[in-house]
Structure 1
Amino acid sequence: MLVIFITAFCEAKVNQWDKMKEVYENIPLPTFPDKTYLITDYYNGTDSLFTSAINKAILVCSAQGGGVVVIPDGVYKTAPIRMKSNVNLHLSDKTLLMFTTDYNLFDTVLTRIEGIDCYNISPLIYAYGETNMAITGNGVMDGMASEANWFSKERIDGVTLKNGKKVAEKTVLYDMKEDSVPFEKRVFKGKTGMRPQFINLYKCKNVLLEGFTLNRSPFWLIHPLLSENITVRKVKMQSHGHNNDGCDPESCKNILIEDCDFDTGDDCIAIKSGRDEDGRYWNIPSENIIVRNCRMKDGHAGVAMGSEITGGCYNVWVENCLMDSPNLSRIIRIKSNAIRGGEVKNVYVRNITVGQCDESILGMEMKYWHVDDGPYPPYFHNIYLENIKSNKSRYLLHLDGFANKIQARDIFIKNCDFKGITASEINAVTGVSNIHFENVKVNGKDYKGM
């Protein structure tokens, strides 16, 4: 019976890679008319920032049926940019786009911060309800975030006034969620605004992000939210500040992340679907996420699911990636707790080369952020790792659940070679059942499992 059980799961896995091809073939790329709009044609020659010129060119382009808005070679300073349908914002090869850190120049828009719905100061590039868009070209966009501005101790630890006292920048939002304050009354503007995302695509469809480099983001770098058919290709994400996740699809469907470079201060990729009651209100999972041919250096994880995963996460494929850094904590990471909840299922990982990582090849946290109990225990299952070669890590598996309950199961590890496992125990596993090993070597020896 055990042989039949394992064979059935292996057959299911093979079919799922065929499903990945179907998903990939059904993620359309945007198309644009052969019309060009130079932002310099809309510049009045006196403004210190190019914000008005860029946004006007985008508006005119969209209103006239679409085309390519070109930012030519040069250095341009700007406040936040608002994207529109049928526009390809193109950065020339020697373009440097530098964003102001003056929060007084940021409009207030609808977004989410760490899975919680709110109005906040605008992301550096923002779109709401738009379709058929792109940001392309080999230029550089610099969010200018540093310890002197977005990451200052005042902003991180005490920018928002509450009862006459300063508290951490997101504490008031957390309290509003706990107190069930309606979304429309969660408003943060000006100095009380929380650090914004670099690129936020809210309820958008058919979008291409390709070629450019992102540096020094105030918060998450690329954040598709409640969006569909998003392609992120050949983007370099280099940003080591607080909460600097690379790409965070949240409650999204049909996402392709390929041939990208990540060197980040938090998870390289973190798939999300809302947090706590806000996540349960929307109840929209992230599903059909493809990650392939990427390179990950520093980060808390190469590919993570969570921790704001209340709406669930289904069908994630990761293949042909290189992950290598002593400052990369985990290769695959799944995290939640019994307040956030969420189901994560059908995660397929193959052909991964790991130079080294700090903690583990697969990490799971069912008690994330030290939450020991709650009414919504998460559930992780159907996780497949195949053809992974690693030279160094502390653990193979670090799966942290509860000793008296099972919250994760059905993990399959096949045709893998894990070298340089340094912990005295190969695995640290609690609260997980049905872990299967087939043709696995650990530190040069055949490994049959725990």
Structure 2
Amino acid sequence: MNYGQQILGHEVETEQGWGQIQHILSQIIPPTFPRRDFVVTDFGAVGNGIMDCTDAFRRVMMAANMAGGGRVVVPAGIYLTGPIHFKSKVNLYVSKEATIKFSQDLEKYLPMVLNRFEGVELYNYSPLIYSYGAVNIAITGEGILDGNGDNEHWWPWKGLTQYGWQEGQVHQAEDRNVLFTMAEQNVPVEERKFGSGHYLRPSFIQFYNSKNILIEGVTVKDSPMWQISPVLCENITINSVKIIGHGPNTDGFDPDSCKNILIKNCYFDNGDDCIAIKSGRNGDGRRINIPCENIVIQNNYMKDGHGGITIGSEISGSVRNVFADHNVMDSPNLDRALRFKTNSVRGGIIENIYFRNTTVKSIDEEIFIVDMDYEEGDAGEYTPIVRNIFVENLESYGGKTGILMSAYERTPISNVQFTNCILHNVETPFVLKNVERLVFKNVSINGKHYDDV
């Protein structure tokens, strides 16, 4: 290898890559709303934590929309409700001393609505907060959205004793297998009906086929499953949000086949991935075939989770153009910092991924991992492609493996470049299998300098 030429090419390629970020940010514009307030208590809601406010939220949402838009204000108090379905041009403002607490009555989440479960479309219980085809919507304020998931409700459906499941109780495995089989057999989505009598947990906030979305300032906690997971949406801003929950699969933010996303200044403390970028699962993801793309991740703080910034595993529609800058990860209960997970059942392309100024203060397993053997492994016909990954100014402390990259011989991980990275006190510096065009420039692991591999 001509190392000098490789480095020159790397510097130009990286500079050109980061040069795209301003164009992407120019496409991400938070929605604005008429200066018009609709107070939920004027529509019959009572913030005593006991009264059912489902109908009050339905009526106030409708009124704000029909008036041409505005702010739905939730004043101080605890408001117990079923699902909230957004209409266009509405900003749900949750005041600082307010909590919206979601009911544990399953009947409240019927009738079923179209949503995605682990990247597969179906009709199921409504997400706790939902929209379909809405434009200009927001959740703002300093209050709390409480999904009310716990080891007696929602979480036992995972089928694990640490989340309240007991031997002999029903859980999600059978329904999950049925859904995935339906998708692979091209059963029409309208016939994939679950809901009552089934055990597939909904996401907390799932805006669907919607655009111009803002979530800002609020705390989101204790979801049944994925906490914030927009699907097939465009123009999304997530700013200064706390996302907390240690139930099963309680990922923090999972955009799924979405475009033009900014997530900044957020705090994550989760039972699964903090951020997981997705684009549909297996045949259903290929049927829709819409990537997740143009994503900017800035100035976030990540504690517990399976992964800090993750791409996959529901990746069949591909992911591209991800820019992560100035993010901090700090927990011995965070398994992996920067994580890619795919396999030949998923397929898809992961490309043009940029990490810069990442600080990993503590970690359990890998600092950086690309894994093509996630879950099913090499058991399918859809060979994944992973290429063009650039990591700059990464500093980490601890962990079992610094850099782990494992691919199939027929599809090596290609064009991965580490620049100005320092990894302290890692047990194993790197494990590499089928990687080509790997460049190290000014990389130090446990005090040993690496210029090339």
Moved more, 393-402 or 344-353: 393-402
Letter matched to residue 41 of structure 2: T
* Structure 2 contact 157–170 (Cα < 8 Å) conserved: no
Residues 384 and 411, structure 2, Cα contact 8 Å, conserved in 1: no
Aligned twin of 1:405 = 410
- Determine the structure 2 residue equivalent to 1:269: 275
2:204, 2:223 within 8 Å by CA — same for their partners in 1? yes
Query: 2:200 is paired with a residue of what secondary structure?
Result: coil
Instruction: Find the partner of 1:313 among 319, 330, 341.
Output: 319
131, 134, 143: which is aligned to 1:139? Answer: 143
User: Which amino acid is 1:308 matched to?
Assistant: E
Cα shift at 1:360: 1.4
Residue from 80, 83, 89 that aligns with 2:83: 80
1:157-180 deviation line (CA, Å, top 9, x unaligned): 78779xxxx954422212212332
Match of residue 389 from structure 1: 395
Q: Which one of the candidate residues 61, 65, 78 is aligned to 1:62?
A: 65
Show the counterpart of 1:13.
14
Determine the C-alpha separation between the residues in 2 that align with 1:10 and 1:101.
54
Alpha-carbon distance in 2 for matches of 1:372, 1:4: 35
Shift of the 204–30 alpha-carbon distance from structure 1 to 2, 3 Å rule, reads same
CA deviations on 1:245-284 (whole Å, 9 max, x unpaired) are: 1101111110000000001111100000111111111111
Give the Cα separation in 2 of the matches to 1:356 and 1:44.
Answer: 45
Q: 1:167 to 1:315 in 2, by over 3 A?
A: closer
* TM norm structure 2: 0.94
> Bigger CA drift: 170-179 or 88-97?
170-179
Show the 5 A alignment for 1:36-47. Answer: 36-43=37-44
- Kept in 2: contact 1:160–1:192 (CA 8 A): no
Q: 8 Å contact 2:243–2:252 — kept in the other structure?
A: yes
Query: Is 2:10 the counterpart of 1:4?
Result: no
- CA deviations 1:66-89 (Å, max 9, x no partner) are 010000001110000001111000
Q: Which moves more between the two structures, 378-387 or 151-160? A: 151-160
Kindly state the Cα deviation for residue 23 of structure 1 after the two structures are TM-superposed. 0.7
* C-alpha contact 2:345 2:378 (8 A) present in aligned 1: no
- The answer on 1:301 being equivalent to 2:302 is no
Correspondent of 1:195 among 198, 201, 213: 201
In the TM superposition, what is the alpha-carbon distance from 1:322 to its structure 2 partner? 0.7
SS of equivalent residue, structure 1 residue 147: coil
Aligned to 1:221: 227
Correspondence for 1:50 among 43, 48, 53: 53
Report the secondary structure of 1:376's partner residue.
Answer: coil
| 2:367 alignment partner, SS class | strand
Give SS of 1:12's match.
helix
* AA at the equivalent of 2:5: I
Partner of 2:127: 123
Q: Secondary structure in 2 aligned to 1:101?
A: coil
Q: CA shift at 1:97, angstroms?
A: 1.1
Helix, strand or coil at the partner of 1:88: strand
Paired letter, 1:441: S
How big is the shift at 1:153?
A: 5.4
- Would you say the 8 A contact 1:103–1:191 is kept in 2? no
Q: Deviations over 1:202-255 (max 9, x none)?
A: 011111000111111100000111000000000100011111111011111100
Which amino acid is the alignment partner of residue 154 of structure 2?
W
Please give the per-residue CA displacement for 1:16-36, whole angstroms capped at 9, x wherever unaligned.
212111111221111111110
Alignment of 1:427-442 (within 5 A): 427-442=430-445
Partner of 1:92: 95
Task: Assess if the C-alpha contact under 8 Å between 1:360 and 1:395 holds in 2.
Answer: yes
Amino acid at match of 1:19: Q
Residue matched to 2:238 = 232
Residue identity matched to 1:386: E
Shift of the 61–420 alpha-carbon distance from structure 1 to 2, 3 Å rule, reads same
Aligned residues: 443
Q: Could you tell me whether the CA contact under 8 Å between 2:157 and 2:199 is conserved in 1?
A: no
Question: Aligned-pair distance for 1:188?
Answer: 1.0
Residue 260 of structure 2 is aligned to residue 257 of structure 1: no
Residue 9 of structure 1, CA deviation: 2.9
Q: Is the 1:320–1:350 Cα contact (8 Å) retained in structure 2? A: yes
Q: Deviations over 1:298-332 (max 9, x none)?
A: 11111111001001001000000110111111111
Match of 1:344 among 339, 343, 350: 350
Alignment partner, residue 172 of structure 1: 178
Question: Percent of counterpart pairs with the same letter?
Answer: 41
Report the CA distance shift for 1:410/1:214 in structure 2 as closer, same or farther (over 3 A): same
1:101-156: CA deviation from partner (whole Å, max 9, x where unpaired): 11111121001111111111000000000011110011011111111111125867
Q: Secondary structure at the match of 1:281?
A: helix
Amino acid at match of 1:291: I
Unaligned runs of 5+ in 2: none
Post-superposition shift, 1:386? 0.3
Please report the TM-score for the alignment, with normalisation by the length of structure 1: 0.95
Given the superposition, is the C-alpha separation of residues 386 and 52 from structure 1 closer, same or farther in structure 2, using an over 3 Å criterion? same
Judge conservation of contact 1:248–1:271 (CA < 8 Å) in 2: yes
Output the CA distance in 2 between the equivalents of 1:188 and 1:10. 51
Do the aligned residues in 1 keep the contact of 2:81 with 2:101 (CA within 8 Å)? yes
**Equivalence for 2:155:** 151
Q: Which amino acid aligns with 1:10?
A: E
Provide the rounded CA distance (Å) in 2 between the counterparts of 1:192 and 1:60: 34
Partners in 2 of 1:317 and 1:152 — Cα distance? Answer: 36
